[in-house]
Amino acid sequence: MVFFELFYGSFWETSETKSQGDIGRASLPPRGWNSYDSFCWTITEEEFLQNAELVAQRLKPHGYEYVVVDFLWYRKKTIGAYTDSYGFDVFDEWGRMVPDPGRWPSSQGGKGFSEVAGKVHSMGLKFGIHVMRGLSLQAFNANTLILDTTTGKAYEEAGRQWRAQDIGIKERTCAWMKNGFMSVNTKLGAGRAFLRSLYQQYADWGVDFVKLDCVFGDDLDLDEIIVVSEVLNELSRPIIYSLSPGTNAKPIIAKEVSGLVNMYRVTGDDWDTWEDVSAHFNVARDFTAANLVGVKGLKGKSWPDLDMLPLGWLTEAGSNDGPHRYCRLNLDEQRTQVTLWSMVRSPLIFGGDMRKLDDATFSLLTNPTLLEINWFSSNNMEACSLSSSGKHSLSNHTEDKEKINVLETRVLALRSCKDVKANGWSTKVLDNNVEKVCWEENSNKRKAPFCLNKREALSASEGEMVYQHQNLGRLHLLVTERTELCFGASSNRKLTANEISRGSFSRCRSHANQMWENYNGTLMNSYSGLCAIMDFVRASSGGIRSWLATGRRGEIYLAFFNLNNQVTKMSAKISDITNAIHATSSKCSGTEVWSGTNLGAIKDSISMSVNAHGCALFVLNCT
């Protein structure tokens, strides 16, 4: 029998106004539908509007209001085109992406998404799009002019017109989409003008929600996040500002952006595997404990985002095909996912094809208790789990006494350079004048330090990189002095939520992902501006979790989560629950949501056997 002792620790409490009519953007966690999990990049105008109509009919009454076209809506669906192909994108004379007219016929004649947005608005919904960082490689190579939105003409400064190759930073292309998009130099007036022209166009189309990708987590581009926030703040049209993905995102980094945006991903892509679902528990705990849920954001509030809900009728990641299979999570696992998302107050964005929405999925998405918790609960926190002896334990006993496997992996990871742990590197010069940079293990003097060989960063070939002077003083880090394998910080492919982000070695090149600056004991990556540390990552194959929240009518929500592969009996004392939320009474009654069990008057504790990968959700009334 697993026993929970719940205690009052650090938990957040917002001054949430309990009304959808609040002034401010994202005053409550946004809800909606996104095309990615069911269509990847291939969705057409007809398919999108069919889904939007069904969202309006079936989900809008439950607070789902945003319908979002995910990435590559500007890519022609033809032979040779895929998620990282080159040469298939449609853009205008100013280097701005426009919808592929083959898939989005109403966009012809320079109308962009105007007609689609108008139809979405007529349904009582709001329209959103996915966009990538900065400037496309195609527009860069075409060297398009930059639009000055204040004049309607080409941007001019210092007596000349400015073009894409003046602002694009080719060595900072998105690490996992090398043929796609690159950062722009926001220190230049022309760079800021280009970003302003993008978001002005989205506003002109009637866009209400923008999901900006490849700018957060390991792909951090703080300069672009800031400039886009400033542009959106100035626009007359309110637009929800969302960031993606959140690979390796940590609260210390999130605190730098939470006030600039309205929601931001805190994991890699979430797909329908148990490993992805269970990977969210530590992240959810860390972001709630850091008081980052529902804090001040761009003209409203901001919310850590656990990613879309991949339920129902889906496709595969990176696929060129539309939806063709059902969600691989069983019902217990699906309940665990939607319950955790609600207890954390994450945005709820459904990813399945609405045209094949089954009753079970619809019931999960519209469960009134979950939706009430998601919008109106407070004091949300993970409770600590302890063994019956009172000693802290990561391993919990189940009915068959199986132990939990906890694996510890040592990885090179990225953290904010403000993190005190980042200052752990030192330089060593060997007899042959080879310089190494080494991570000093303070806790283990007997263990040889981890070292990499330093070498001045390679110069780019002519035409490969515009700002070649930016390489001065930057380093490549090699396994040995004789190899040509350099250390890169961010993954060259999109990671899922359960994958551990770690650096990798590949052929040395001029990409900023492989360039480092070594000063004051830190190793700062030139791609993301984050610093490398040696870290220990713990991955558990099971365990138990418990979450608490309070409702707006005084009710208490208690969730048990069983991450084990077998049924586990879990229990919590009523006195510990009420103490955690500063309630004075220990007389409670309640129900369990998923089984419908009426608990009646509860004496001393709540106890229930929870299925493998499943959860129990209690609504308690204590007087």
Q: Which of 502, 618, 601 is nearest to 560 (CA)?
A: 618
Secondary element (H or E) of residue 524: strand 522-525
AA identity, residue 366: T
- Joined together, the tokens standing for residue 551 give 């409702």
Contact (Cβ atoms closer than 8 angstroms) between residue 28 and residue 22: yes
Of the CA atoms within 13 Å of residue 223, those in its CB half-sphere come to: 18
DSSP 410-422: EEEEEE-TTSGGG
Q: What is the pLDDT of residue 13?
A: 35
- Write out the two tokens for 371: 């939706």
Going by CATH, does the domain composed of 31-376 fall within 3.20.20.70? yes
**Domain range summary for the chain, segments of one domain joined by +:** 31-376, 408-457+469-538, 541-622
Work out whether strand 504-507 and strand 516-519 pair parallel, antiparallel, or are unpaired. Answer: unpaired
Name the helix (H) or strand (E) containing 375: helix 368-376
| Encoded tokens for 14 | 């917002």
Q: Could you say which DSSP state residue 108 is in?
A: T
Residues with pLDDT less than 70, the chain:
1-23, 385-409, 441-447, 458-473, 480-482, 502, 537-541
* Long-range Cβ contact pairs of 46-55 (< 8 A, separation 24 or more): 47/322, 48/116, 49/116, 49/119, 49/120, 50/354, 50/355, 51/353, 51/354, 51/355, 52/119, 52/120, 52/123, 52/125, 53/123, 54/354, 54/355, 54/357, 55/123, 55/125, 55/354
Whole-number pLDDT of residue 551:
96
* 3.20.20.70, 1.10.150.20, 2.60.40.10, 2.60.40.1180: CATH of 541-622: 2.60.40.1180
pLDDT at 111: 98
Q: 217: phi > 0 → left, psi -120 to 50 → alpha, else beta; which?
A: left
Residue 388: per-residue pLDDT: 30
Report pTM: 0.91
Examine domains 31-376 and 541-622 and report if their fold is the same: no
Predicted pLDDT of residue 442: 60
**Which has the closest alpha carbon to 223: 266, 267, 188?**
188
Residue 467: the pLDDT is 40
**CB-CB neighbours of 448 under 10 Å:** 8
Which of 230, 238, 290 has its CA nearest to residue 260? 230
Question: Measured between alpha carbons, how far is 144 from 141 in angstroms, rounded to an integer?
Answer: 8
Residue 593: predicted pLDDT: 98
pLDDT of residue 5: 47
